[in-house]
Chains A and B, each alone.
Chain A
Amino acid sequence: MSEPLALTGAPNEPSATGSVRTLPPSLAAAPARRRAFTEALAAWALAGPAVFFLLALFFLPVIGVFVIAITDWQFGGLTLSFVGLANFREIFADDGFRASLVNTIVYVLIVVPGTLVFGLLIALLIESGKSCRSFYRAIHFLPFMATLTAMAVAWEALLHPTIGLVNQTLAAMGLPTANWLRDENTALPVLAVIGIWQNLGYAMVLFLAGLKSIPQDLYDAADTDGADLWLDRLRTVTLPLLGPVSMFVVIVVALRAFESFDTVKVLTQGGPGHASEMLLYTLYRESFEYLRSGYGAAVAVVFLAIVVTLTLAQVRLMDRRVHYQ
């Protein structure tokens, strides 16, 4: 609480409202300016701590990443020299990084549509009736907020090649089993399934909110206009009006998918080989396990570029949404 206490006594409070009015009009300009000044001072004092930490914890580091990415600085080193794009050439020449990039994109391309479709279907089903809504919502949302590290441990047990429930079930049904997390053909898809499992509740909740914001009048109008069968209502009213929400879900889930780390770390460590390695895991391992700062920073820059592009796309889409209603 030291922050507010220090400020309370500060002499820059714009409490001069009363005194300004009592001054003769000829002098009004000067106090007005003085008051604007004290107000600005108060504002910056209030924002001061946030500004300091924003600079120290966001802006300085982001510059730092770029500096490390274009120099040969190594952790603990005292000198650095400019190496241009050498680090970027290195990562793009590296099979490991290229695999990581491709894996991440494949992962996102599985997780996003999967999450979107399942999230939408479940939201539509929940909203199509009145009973047990919050019960179903709670069940499907649960994985989104459960600690993913712990749940990954549970998934590992589930996918265990001999005692896991998945293989037991498949064997009982006479289907082929697999060593899911150790097989290079299945490791990444399995991680994607876990990604969908974790995120579909999030998409569902966003879709539910979108569905709720569709005015009942539109459905009534569709009924009287003759679009009263389930599919017609869906096509005439529901899906078009969910358009903006869907775009939002796509971007947000894509961002979350790009940032997947916990499951890779717990379940596969990127393996077997590079089969399930993803960008953030590469970033972590190169930077902090192998201490290859330049490599890690270059990966961070590529990752940042993707995330920023996606976020800006989201902002553009949200702007366009305004024209809808």
Chain B
Amino acid sequence: MSINMHPNRLLQPSAIVRHAVLLTTGALILVPVVWMVSLSIKPPGEIFRASFSFWPAQFYGVENYTKALTEAPLPRYMGNGLIVCALILGLQILVCAPCAYALAKIRFPGRDLLFAMVLIGLLLPHQVLSLPLFVLGYQLGILNGYAALIFPYVVSPFGIFLFRQFFKTIPDDVVHAARLDGLSEIAIVWKIMVPMALPAVIAFSIFSVVGHWNDLFWPLIVVRDQSLMPPPLGIIAFKTEEAGNDYGPLMAASTLVVLPLVIAFLAAQKWFIQGMTGGAVK
């Protein structure tokens, strides 16, 4: 008889299994993060004495975090990251939105060619282009500066593509009405299309900021000065300097670098998931 029972009546044990398994996998996933935070509040003596305890016998967090913030120019790194991400994002939207509008709403000769260019750009991984881009930066004399960190990302094929897809869902009549109201094409982009496409703009912003905040490859190539390093590169520089004998401050620095994105992520989970999956998830 029990096999013919309604499944709803059998819910309890399966729900327990579900929570048990997910809590276990979740805990395993979080082990590196927890271990990082744990080491960041331990004194050197405790770090090198093998122990399982998360909480230190002697709380050393203040010292470690102070060291991370003062000995390594961590505030500087994070400021650099902020400046670079903000400038990249601003330029990307400025360049991509008008182009996406032209692709989505205007018929003009060469449109298909332009769209093909965007798709090909979408196909090219930036790392492949790093050598010529490095040469280009060298020729322009902008290496080892903010400009070097920013210039390869001024245009984002993905941004153009995403905005175009979103603009296409806005009815043509909105554009016609705006034209009749006397708005110029560029005013239509900024006053009508971009505000209406706000979800796409937010998703793209998250995609862009997370990507560039976390990027190591390109900064590693073009930046030498500590004062210009974005956070990931700064972590590497700090690690090399400390040569692995001072884990506490290094873990504190790592924690501080990861923290802004994690907080933002927890605050706006839905937006982050949408942005990070490139709009594949609605």
Question: Which A positions have Cβ atoms within 8 angstroms of B?
Answer: 1, 3-4, 7-8, 10, 13-15, 17, 39-40, 42-44, 46-47, 49-51, 53-54, 56-62, 64-65, 68, 75, 118, 122, 125-126, 128-129, 131-132, 134, 136-151, 153-155, 157-158, 162-163, 165, 168-169, 172, 197, 200-202, 205-206, 208-209, 228, 248, 259, 261-262, 265-266, 280, 283-284, 287-288, 293, 296-297, 300-301, 303-304, 307-308, 311
Contact = CB atoms under 8 A, between A and B. Distances in A.
A57 B269 contact: no
A122 B114 CA distance: 41
A86 B139 CA distance: 27
Q: Is the interface of B mostly helix, strand, loop or mixed?
A: helix
Interface residues of B, number: 103
Interface string B267-282: 0010011001100111
Interface stretch (B59-67, B196-204, B251-259): B251-259
Nearest to B52: A168
A43 B106 contact: yes
Of the candidates A44, A56, A149, A150, the one having the most CB atoms from chain B within 10 angstroms of its own CB is A150
A200 B30 CA distance: 13
Contact of A296 (B111, B131, B179): B131
A57 B155 contact: yes
B26 A17 contact: no
A143 B239 CA distance: 21
B268 to A, nearest CB: 11
Nearest to B37: A154
Given A139-B29, A202-B276, 13 more contacts: A40-B109, A122-B22, A125-B18, A129-B15, A129-B19, A140-B25, A150-B258, A165-B31, A202-B277, A209-B281, A262-B216, A265-B220, A300-B127
Contacts of B106: 39-40, 42-43, 46
Interface in B32-57: 32-33, 35-36, 39, 47-52
A129 B25 CA distance: 16
Q: Is the interface of A mostly helix, strand, loop or mixed?
A: helix
Given A8-B186, A49-B98, A259 B127 contact: yes
Interface in B219-244: 220-221, 231-233, 235-236, 239
A126 B185 CA distance: 47
Contacts of B277: 202, 205-206, 209
Q: Which 8 residue pairs across A and B have the least CB separation, nearest first?
A: A64-B132, A50-B99, A149-B232, A154-B36, A61-B132, A53-B155, A150-B254, A43-B108
15 contacts: A44-B108, A50-B99, A118-B25, A125-B18, A128-B18, A139-B26, A150-B36, A150-B257, A154-B35, A154-B251, A163-B48, A209-B281, A284-B220, A300-B130, A307-B125
Contact of A261 (B35, B51, B124, B217): B217
Contacts of A293: 131
Nearest to A245: B280
Contacts of B1: none
B85 interface: no
Interface of B: 7, 14-15, 18-19, 21-22, 25-26, 29-33, 35-36, 39, 47-52, 94-96, 98-99, 101-103, 106-111, 114, 117-118, 120-121, 123-125, 127-136, 151-152, 154-155, 157, 160, 179-180, 182, 184-187, 189-190, 210, 213-214, 216-217, 220-221, 231-233, 235-236, 239, 247, 250-251, 253-255, 257-258, 261-262, 265-266, 269, 272-273, 276-277, 280-282
B50 A168 contact: yes
Given A58-B124, A209-B280, A137 B214 contact: no
A120 B197 CA distance: 32
